[in-house]
A and B are shown apart, each in its own frame.
Chain A
């Protein structure tokens, strides 16, 4: 059995080990890789930059801790941008744990050097409406009346008592919607109901698995898209605050290199041993 034949019967656990090392070791190094900015991400950044101070931004957290590594860096970057631009955040979630992710992201950002002196008042500068059951029907009803689905925020404060929500009846009173989505209900439902039905302005951050399904909506129905960890890293670069997304990209790149190496060497081994297998050798 030559080297290539041995490669074809290699124990898959050896490959697992290589991938684990390729991911773990780069985490110990601080390497800021060059991250090229794609137009879909720049568009989101530009929209945010052009929003006047005090604009109301609805941020829908439609994911749970399972998708944190990809979506939490996007959420944190977006919150940084909102605070820097003095925008008002209306947070909500169509996934039960979404609004908890939002609070975690906000708490983390407010501890950072640039934002630690910022005083945000809940109910005035930001509001967390919590979770609403009902998937796409929630979006549909929000299009005509937000209070029909969110009577109070996650603490139980009535919307009428929250200064930020005064004058906010439906999507027409919201300047921009940003959806962080890991599946259903998520970006597709926001496009179908908020954009195509009520004419809302929407951009999204998606897990990489979901991104290829969402890209066809760009640029007509979706104003911008952040796809996976790369999208998160791009936004961090645009913001000038390289954080988790950029940190993870080094591991991501090394791991991809290892996967590519195994794909190439596996195919090479397959083709180089094909003749032997055809002539009745090892199957």
Chain B
């Protein structure tokens, strides 16, 4: 019974959100507010338990225990305190007079993220992708791979030429750039097609859920 009630609440909220497709209405506003509120609450609880407690408080507690019982300073266990201090500094933005201090935390975040990603993007999204386009243009006995490889190489080269603006897009260069824009347009089209498929999938999932909920409702009536 409790499962059925859960299903019906879900179904009613789904219908409430769908009602926006007809026009804006109080039921939709209620469902939207409920969703936003629950999501925010969930995020706060998760952040508190999984980040503040699990990554800082629990680790500090271990460091504190070491210090109290063994008089041993475990540097590793006290390290999250530094993160905690920088976290508090970030909150100083709320006080305009000393808000500038929050830039230290921001600088740390930006700096570490840039450092972390600099080599990662260079290798994974740069070098490895270049390596992936260095492929044979003819594979003996495998026509589909041959055509596929030609398309990959041609598309990459033409696409890159389209984005080369130091030379006017005229003559052969302009022609290649035009092929490049065709490749880009086809890519956008395929991407849009995938997006439609994804959105339809979500709608199918919801429709199926409504069907299941309605089935449960009918079972109860019997």
* A residues with CB within 8 A of B: 13, 16, 19-20, 23-24, 27, 66-70, 96, 131-134, 136-137, 140, 188, 191-193, 195-197, 207-209, 211-212, 216, 220-221, 227-230, 248, 251-252, 255-256, 259
Contact = CB atoms under 8 A, between A and B. Distances in A.
Contacts, number: 111
Contact of B121 (A133, A192, A255, A256): A192
A70 B207 contact: no
A252 B204 contact: yes
Interface of B: 21-22, 42, 46-47, 50-51, 54-55, 116, 120-121, 123-125, 128-129, 131-132, 187, 190-191, 194-198, 200-208, 211
Given A16-B21, A192-B124, A216-B132, A133 B54 contact: yes
B201 A252 contact: yes
B160 to A, nearest CB: 14
A255 B191 CA distance: 18
A27 B207 contact: yes
Given A96-B46, A212-B190, A248-B208, A197 B120 contact: yes
Interface centre among B128, B194, B204 (most CB of A within 10 A): B204
A196 B204 contact: no
B124 A69 contact: no
A27 B204 contact: yes
Contacts of A70: 198, 201-202, 205
B204 A208 contact: no
A23 B191 contact: no
6 contacts: A69-B202, A192-B121, A208-B194, A216-B129, A220-B132, A228-B194
A135 to B, nearest CB: 11
A149 B112 CA distance: 19
B124 A191 contact: yes
Given A69-B202, A212-B190, A131 B50 contact: yes
B203 A23 contact: yes
